[in-house]
């Protein structure tokens, strides 16, 4: 069971908009720790997609955007393309009585119909 909760799968047709949610708690996202998103294409290593909630690294298309509010964050992808089919992971930091460290969501598989 991941500390951050993501839907196992989402899907959309080419050109559509999809969103992926990432739900945390008061010990991570709600504690004002930032959220980052990674894209993992099949058979490859994850790639940083969004950092510090809303920022895109150089080379990431502006079709990808991130937001954060309260204990949750979201990744939005507009103008869906076949090449966007991948697994997406959110990541933050968690600090609780049982310890502190980096935490990931369980991942969301995006299928482009």
Partner 1 sequence: QVQLQESGPGLVKPSETLSLTCSVSGVSINSYYWSWIRQPPGKGLEWIGCVYFSGSTNYSPSLKSRVTISIDTSRKQVSLRLNSVTAADTAVYFCASTTFRGGKPERFDYWGQGTLVTVSS
What is the contact surface with partner 1 in residues (CB under 8 A)? 2, 33-34, 36, 38, 44-48, 51-52, 57, 89, 91, 93, 98-107
3-state helix, strand, coil in the chain (%, to 5): 5, 50, 45
**Cβ 15 to partner 1, closest distance in Å?**
29
What whole-number distance in Å separates Cα of residue 31 and Cα of residue 29? 5
Nearer to partner 1, 7 or 78 (CB): 7
**Cβ 104 to partner 1, closest distance in Å?**
4
Q: How far is CA 82 from the centre of its chain?
A: 18
With a CB cutoff of 8 Å and minimum separation 6, the contacts of 61 are: none
Nearer to partner 1, 13 or 42 (CB): 42
Name the residue among 78, 103, 113 with its Cα closest to residue 6: 103
Residue 98: how many CB atoms within 10 A of its CB?
7
**Cβ 6 to partner 1, closest distance in Å?**
9
**Cβ 95 to partner 1, closest distance in Å?**
8
Nearer to partner 1, 72 or 91 (CB): 91
Nearer to partner 1, 5 or 78 (CB): 5
């Amino acid at each position: 069971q991941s500390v951050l909760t993501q839907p196992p799968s989402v899907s959309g047709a080419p050109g559509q908009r999809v969103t992926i949610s990432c739900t945390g708690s008061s010990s991570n996202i709600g504690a004002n720790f930032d959220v980052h998103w990674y894209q993992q294409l099949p058979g490859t290593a994850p790639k940083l997609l969004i950092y510090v909630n809303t920022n895109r690294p150089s080379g990431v298309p502006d079709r990808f955007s991130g937001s954060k509010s309260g204990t949750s964050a979201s990744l939005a992808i507009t103008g869906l393309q076949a090449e966007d089919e991948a697994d997406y992971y959110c990541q933050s930091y968690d600090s609780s009585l049982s310890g502190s460290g980096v935490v990931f969501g369980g991942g969301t598989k995006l299928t482009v119909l």
